[in-house]
Amino acid sequence: MDTVRAHQDFLRTRIFPGLDGLRCVSILLVMAHHVSGLHHGFLGRGYLGVSLFFAISGFLITSLLLRERDAHGFISLGRFYGRRSLRIFPLYYAVLSVYVVLVLLFEKGAQEKADFFANLPAFLTYTSNWFVPQEPNTRIIFYFAWSLATEEQFYLLWPGVMRVAHRWGAVAFMAGLLAISLWAPWAVETGRLDGTLMSVRILASFAAPICMGCLAAYAVHSPVGFAWVYRVLGYKWMPPLLLVLTLAAVATNGVPYGLTSLVMTALVVSACLRTDHLLMPALTLAPIRHIGVISYGVYLLHMICLNLVRRAVPGQGFAVTFLVTLGVTVVAATLSYRYFESWFLRLKERLAAGPAPAKASPAPSTAPASSPIP
């Protein structure tokens, strides 16, 4: 297929059917990490599934906003924030309320209970990635909300930048954030910056995969950029290869985070450039796509379900605990999606009745994401 026609087909694509499958991969990696409790190897590095959510979020949100501007001449921040709020806030605050009750009634660790309520303002304001640092060998209840805080901060900042900045201004801004997101964590790790300073923690909180996803969306939105990217990532066999490389990067200690983020971003882009690639049949299998659709609920509920499974069937190995936890979590998230989230999603679709030229899937999910991404 010539690149001009491929680009036209890409811009006409209203649904990226492979993204929910990639969300499924992301959430399974995260769950496997939390079930295993390891900190090395494939299971121990499963937390990097969040990075795949981030890449999806950056690419998808930017693509949708670029298409909205092309179709209507502007980006409606009111509609964008309205849609995001209806998708993210109801379930997040409902689950956080459940955590408050569970910690009050059942948490036996006095220090863990005190820390949770001390951290509650950060959880309520989506700033836990700044105010709730991870201490070695310390249990922090609801700590996984750091990724949702990172996502929310991205949602607050980036659409406004896209609205007021010209193309190259927005690209330069995001390229600067990408440089900071790669440099600041390295500077903290090597002692060049004091990681206890709030300003440094904010700098280190930028997510490189989100930045890469945003820049990739700008690249493929342009005919010239699309042609260059398509020549590299447009082969039918490229998504399966990039998935293998992604899993290899997750499994291998010592792979630089920037390289892992780049491979994940390439996977997301390659899965969206065309709908007939060789990985698409697997990504669109009904069970895989369903988990991707409800992945936001899976992310928010999986730790509750994991603790419930450990109490109900203690002493089981990783495989049994993971499979049972996955089953319980999928049931819980499905019920949440159908009987709770769907009400707000219907309101969200009404907001989308205005300038909404494209969508990622019939039912956007997070995730968190992304994650996860919502």
**pLDDT (0 to 100) of residue 33:** 97
User: What does pTM read for this prediction?
Assistant: 0.92
Question: What's the pLDDT tens digit per position in 242-300?
Answer: 999 999 999 999 999 999 999 999 999 999 999 999 999 999 999 999 999 999 999 99
Q: How far is CA 136 from the centre of its chain?
A: 24
Q: What is the DSSP letter of 193?
A: S
Backbone angles phi, psi at 135, to 5 degrees: -95, 140
Q: Which residue's structure tokens are 């929910």?
A: 20
Please indicate whether residue 243 or residue 368 has the higher confidence score (pLDDT).
Answer: 243
The residue type of 233 is L
**What average pLDDT does range 195-199 have in this prediction?**
90
**pLDDT (0 to 100) of residue 155:** 97
Dmax over CA atoms of the chain, in Å, equals 64
Q: Which residue's structure tokens are 């909300």?
A: 145
**What average pLDDT does range 294-320 have in this prediction?**
97
Does the pLDDT at position 356 exceed 60?
A: no
19 Cβ partners below 8 Å, 6+ apart? 56, 60, 268, 271, 272, 292, 360, 361
The pLDDT-based confidence of 2 (bands split at 50, 70, 90) is: confident
Spatial distance between the Cα atoms of 366 and 357, rounded to a whole number of angstroms:
20
Question: What's the pLDDT tens digit per position in 344-355?
Answer: 998 877 776 554
Helices 257-273, 167-189: inter-axial angle, 10-degree rounding: 150
**What average pLDDT does range 100-117 have in this prediction?**
96
Does the pLDDT at position 198 exceed 60?
A: yes
Q: What is the DSSP letter of 141?
A: T
Spatial distance between the Cα atoms of 75 and 65, rounded to a whole number of angstroms:
6
**pLDDT (0 to 100) of residue 359:** 42
Dump strand ranges (E) for the chain: none
Spatial distance between the Cα atoms of 174 and 262, rounded to a whole number of angstroms:
15
Q: Which residue's structure tokens are 């863990």?
A: 112
Residue 49: closest CA among 28, 67, 80, 34: 28
Question: What's the pLDDT tens digit per position in 31-45?
Answer: 999 999 998 899 999
**pLDDT (0 to 100) of residue 177:** 97
Spatial distance between the Cα atoms of 265 and 210, rounded to a whole number of angstroms:
9
Question: What's the pLDDT tens digit per position in 66-96?
Answer: 999 999 999 999 999 999 999 999 999 999 9
Spatial distance between the Cα atoms of 122 and 128, rounded to a whole number of angstroms:
5
Mean pLDDT across the chain, nearest whole number? 92
Contact 321, 302 (CB under 8 A): no
Contact 277, 16 (CB under 8 A): no
Contact 259, 295 (CB under 8 A): no
The pLDDT-based confidence of 373 (bands split at 50, 70, 90) is: very low
